[in-house]
């Protein structure tokens, strides 16, 4: 029951993953570095430990990602004034410009995928996907 829906959802997941990795991100950034910029752009300055949790990577991996993005000028890492043991990651001006470019690409892809759907179809799809996501969240 529902395996055809699961098959289609998995096909969409694979196709979106391929679309996201088909070409390098802005300035040739890796998907992982792009994801980190996206996360900080959406949340604002963020403790490095929280970023590791958000991106589901180890503290060692997040350190390497942040180091690379500090070196490329996309983010800065400063000690939290309230807790000097905590490193807070913030987008630089260059990082904010990259985030804006990512948002624009996100909007273009959404338009390409959904502009042919009428509002009621988009609403029904959103509601169905929300239910699926809610179910998945209870399973983890």
Q: Which tokens in the block code for residue 43?
A: 């949340």
Query: Do 34 and 75 form a contact (C-beta atoms < 8 A)?
Result: no
Q: For domain 33-139, which architecture applies?
A: Orthogonal Bundle (1.10)
Q: Which tokens in the block code for residue 91?
A: 């987008």
Q: How far apart are alpha carbons 26 and 59 in whole angstroms?
A: 25
The pLDDT tens digits for 88-136 are 999 999 999 999 999 998 899 899 999 999 999 999 999 999 999 999 9
DSSP element (H, E) containing 47: strand 46-47
The pLDDT tens digits for 48-93 are 999 999 999 999 999 999 999 999 999 999 988 888 888 999 999 9
Judged against a pLDDT cut of 70, whether residue 24 lies above it is answered with no
Sketch the domain layout of the chain as residue ranges: 33-139
Q: What is the pTM of this model?
A: 0.82
């Amino acid at each position: 029951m529902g395996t055809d829906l699961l098959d289609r959802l998995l096909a969409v997941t694979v196709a979106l993953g391929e679309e996201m990795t088909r070409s390098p991100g802005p300035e040739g950034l890796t998907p992982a570095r792009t994801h980190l910029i996206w996360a900080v752009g959406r949340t604002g300055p963020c403790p490095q430990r929280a970023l590791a949790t958000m991106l589901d990577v180890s503290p060692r991996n997040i350190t390497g990602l942040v180091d690379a993005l500090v070196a490329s000028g996309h983010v800065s890492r400063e000690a939290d004034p309230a807790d000097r043991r905590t490193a807070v990651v913030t987008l630089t001006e260059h990082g904010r410009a990259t985030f804006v470019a990512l948002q624009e690409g996100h909007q273009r892809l959404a338009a390409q995928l959904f502009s042919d759907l009428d509002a009621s179809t988009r609403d029904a799809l959103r509601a169905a996907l929300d239910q699926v996501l809610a179910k998945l969240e209870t399973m983890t």
